[in-house]
């Protein structure tokens, strides 16, 4: 089956055809590093991590290049330095490591490349120079701005809006040096106490949008396969990336496929500090919520639908993972991912469908396929996590006891003893499964071996 992805630019689900099967390329916009990653920041990291894993599964681990950047020069970072009196370099180094640690905790693999914007200033300056030379940008009062009118017929195709509509509906910076309200900053002047670099337009720093265009070109080339991010970046960030990249590289596209994940809610409401429902990934981890549980809840909703984080979902996710980890704890790690799980992911990254297939594998007792399929979805990278470890208790005597009780009950038609044993096992945290094939006992969340004492006597 071919991977099919919903391309934001065409509004269609399309077969994915890489430019080069030997080097499939993906770029995803990463964080601006000035604080802890909030829960919403984790969604694109997890979504595109699953896509990275799927591409590696289909094309081979050595044939996929994934770039996710760090924005380490930005007005928010400067503001944080002013607030705290700390050095900008210290802030960005610290918060970058925070991000890496928190994403690792939720099972996100490190991409092939993680460029920092400040390492690519010369490439940004060169790209801006080319845009000015070709008439797509102009200098004004120490700034350099992209001239939207120079690419007006194509600007807005990603978000599906005309320039006039965008002007009417967008918050655009009003500045006397702009020729058009929609023109956006490529380079801005820096004062003496702000980070800055020498350029043909004076000492300054790059605008936000040019960063990704320069880094993507340097690491992936003029055109590549997939560009992803949250749908809040579609306009203006991704729209501006396309405009400046196509004009600078003399191409008709930046990426062949554009993917955008929907936003996150908490208990049905938009996450915000004013509502008191704003929290970071680290907040949850410090409260004892396992990273695998955060990942599971995220993947339980399709990436193109709003994801609602609820306490109920968290509890159910932890219970499910405990059960599955107990099932696969002794399974050999030599099976291929279950075909139906792979097919669900190939169908526009349907992680919710993939999880439904995992439930079926669990019910069928196919533990090797369950284990390998969990790994494909980003679980078990480091084995069974400590929080889900089940006490090693030999349950075979209890299986034998319940099997004999059931055989007797089938003859006498009196199931009281079977029901009694099932109740005792369930109270001890053991899931009881009875079928024609026999009896299975699976330690569940909260399994307490001490509660089994006396059952055999």
Cβ pair 216, 67 in contact under 8 A: yes
Q: Are residues 172 and 115 part of one domain?
A: yes
pLDDT at 185: 96
Q: Which whole number is the average pLDDT over 245-265?
A: 97
Task: Note the pLDDT of residue 3.
Answer: 98
pLDDT value for 165: 66
> Could you report the per-residue pLDDT of 54-100, keeping only the tens digit for each?
999 999 999 999 999 999 999 999 999 999 999 999 999 999 999 99
- Asked if residue 457 belongs to a domain, the reply is no
Compute the average pLDDT of residues 140-158.
92
Same structural domain, 290 and 242:
no
For residues 24 and 137, membership in a common domain is answered with: yes
In this prediction, residue 105 carries a pLDDT of: 97
For tokens 């001490």, what's the residue? Answer: 450
Question: How far, in Å, CA of 170 to CA of 164, rounded?
Answer: 10
pLDDT, tens digit, 9 for 90 and up, residues 107-147: 999 999 999 999 999 999 999 999 999 999 999 999 999 99
Say if 315 falls within a structural domain.
Answer: yes
Same domain, 307 and 369: yes
pLDDT at position 1 is 67
Q: Is the pTM of this model over 0.85?
A: yes
Backbone angles phi, psi at 407, to 5 degrees: -60, -40
Q: Are 169 and 235 found together in one domain? A: yes
Residue 392 has pLDDT above 80, yes or no: no
- Given 261, 285, 308, the domain boundary residue is 261
Two structure tokens written together for 291: 């990273």
Q: Is the pLDDT of residue 32 over 80?
A: yes
Report the pLDDT value the prediction gives residue 168, as an integer from 0 to 100. Answer: 54
Q: Are residues 270 and 254 in the same domain?
A: no
In whole angstroms, give the CA distance from residue 128 to residue 204: 13
- CATH number (domain holding residue 149): 3.40.50.620
Question: In percent, how much of the chain has pLDDT > 90?
Answer: 78
- 97-105: long-range contacts, CB 8 A cutoff, minimum separation 24: 98/36, 98/37, 98/282, 99/31, 99/33, 99/37, 99/70, 102/36, 102/37, 102/42, 102/280, 102/281, 102/282, 102/285, 103/37, 103/42, 103/45, 103/281, 104/291, 105/281, 105/285, 105/291
Position 446 scores a pLDDT of 72
272: its two tokens = 């915000």
Contact, 271 vs 265, CB < 8 A? yes
* Residue 303 pLDDT: 98
Residues 174 and 230 in one domain: yes
Q: What pLDDT, on the 0 to 100 scale, is given for residue 373?
A: 97
Q: How confident is the model at residue 218 (pLDDT cuts 50, 70, 90)?
A: very high
Rama region for 145: left / alpha / beta (φ>0; ψ in -120 to 50; rest): beta
- Interaxial angle between packed helices 291-299 and 39-59, expressed in degrees from 0 to 180 and rounded to the nearest 10: 80
In a domain, 38, yes or no: yes
| Shared-domain flag, residues 205 and 331 | no
Q: What is the pLDDT of residue 173?
A: 62
From the list 48, 379, 432, 54, the residue with the least C-alpha distance to 370 is 379
Q: Are residues 255 and 343 in the same domain?
A: no
> Which of the two residues, 444 and 75, has the higher pLDDT score?
75
**Domain ends where: 261, 288, 320?**
261
| Token representation of residue 250 | 């003399």
Same domain, 159 and 281: no
Structural domain boundaries enclosing 71: 4-261
> For residue 256, which phi and psi values (nearest 5 degrees)?
-75, -35
Looking at the fold, whether 373 and 438 belong to one and the same domain comes out as no
114 and 243 belong to one structural domain: yes
Q: How far apart are CA 60 and CA 68, in angstroms?
A: 19
- Using an 8 Å Cβ cutoff, are 215 and 123 in contact? yes
Q: 196 in helix, strand or coil?
A: coil
Number of domains composing the chain? 3
pLDDT, residue 245, reads 98
Helix, strand, or coil (residue 228)? strand
Which residues, in sequence order, are CB contacts of 147 under 8 Å at separation 6+? 135, 136, 137, 138, 179, 180, 183
Could you tell me if 299 and 377 are in contact, meaning their C-beta atoms sit under 8 angstroms apart?
yes
């Amino acid at each position: 089956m071919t991977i099919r992805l919903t391309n934001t630019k065409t509004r269609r689900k399309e077969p994915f055809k890489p430019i080069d099967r030997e080097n499939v390329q993906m770029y995803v916009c990463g964080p601006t590093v000035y604080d802890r990653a909030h829960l919403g920041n984790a969604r694109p990291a997890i979504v595109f991590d699953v896509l990275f894993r799927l591409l590696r599964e289909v094309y081979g681990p050595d044939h996929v290049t994934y770039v996710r950047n760090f924005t380490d020069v930005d007005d928010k970072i400067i503001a944080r330095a002013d607030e705290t009196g700390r050095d900008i370099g210290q802030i960005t180094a610290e918060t970058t490591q925070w991000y890496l640690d928190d994403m690792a905790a939720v099972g996100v693999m490190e991409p092939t490349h993680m460029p920092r914007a400040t390492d690519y200033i010369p490439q940004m300056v060169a790209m801006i120079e080319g845009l000015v030379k070709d008439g797509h940008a102009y200098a004004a009062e120490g700034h350099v701005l992209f001239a939207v009118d120079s690419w007006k017929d194509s600007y807005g195709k990603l978000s599906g809006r005309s320039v006039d509509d965008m002007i009417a509906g967008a918050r655009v910076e009003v500045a006397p040096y702009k020729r058009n309200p929609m023109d956006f900053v490529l380079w801005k002047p820096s004062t003496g106490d702000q980070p800055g670099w020498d350029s043909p337009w004076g000492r300054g720093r790059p605008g936000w949008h040019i960063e990704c265009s320069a880094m993507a070109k340097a690491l992936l080339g003029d055109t590549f396969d997939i560009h992803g991010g949250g749908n809040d970046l579609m306009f203006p960030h991704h729209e501006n990336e396309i405009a400046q990249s196509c004009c600078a590289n003399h191409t008709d596209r930046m990426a062949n496929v554009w993917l955008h994940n929907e936003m996150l809610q908490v208990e049905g409401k938009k996450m915000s500090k004013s509502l008191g429902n704003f929290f970071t990934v680290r907040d949850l981890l410090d409260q004892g919520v396992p990273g695998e549980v955060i990942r599971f809840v995220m993947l339980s909703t399709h990436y193109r639908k709003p994801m609602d984080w609820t306490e109920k979902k968290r509890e159910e996710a932890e219970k499910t993972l405990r059960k599955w980890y107990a099932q696969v704890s002794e399974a050999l790690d030599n099976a291929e991912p279950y075909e139906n799980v792979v097919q669900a992911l190939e169908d526009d990254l349907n992680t919710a469908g993939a999880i439904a297939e995992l439930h079926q594998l669990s019910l069928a007792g196919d533990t090797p396929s369950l284990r390998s399929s969990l790994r494909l979805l980003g679980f078990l990278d480091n084995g069974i996590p400590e929080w889900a470890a089940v006490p090693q208790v030999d349950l075979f005597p209890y299986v034998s006891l319940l099997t004999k009780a059931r055989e007797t009950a089938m003859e006498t038609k009196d199931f009281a003893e079977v029901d009694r044993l099932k109740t005792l096992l369930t109270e001890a945290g053991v899931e009881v499964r009875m079928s024609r094939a026999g009896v299975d006992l699976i330690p569940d969340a909260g399994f307490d071996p001490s509660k089994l004492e006396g059952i055999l006597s």
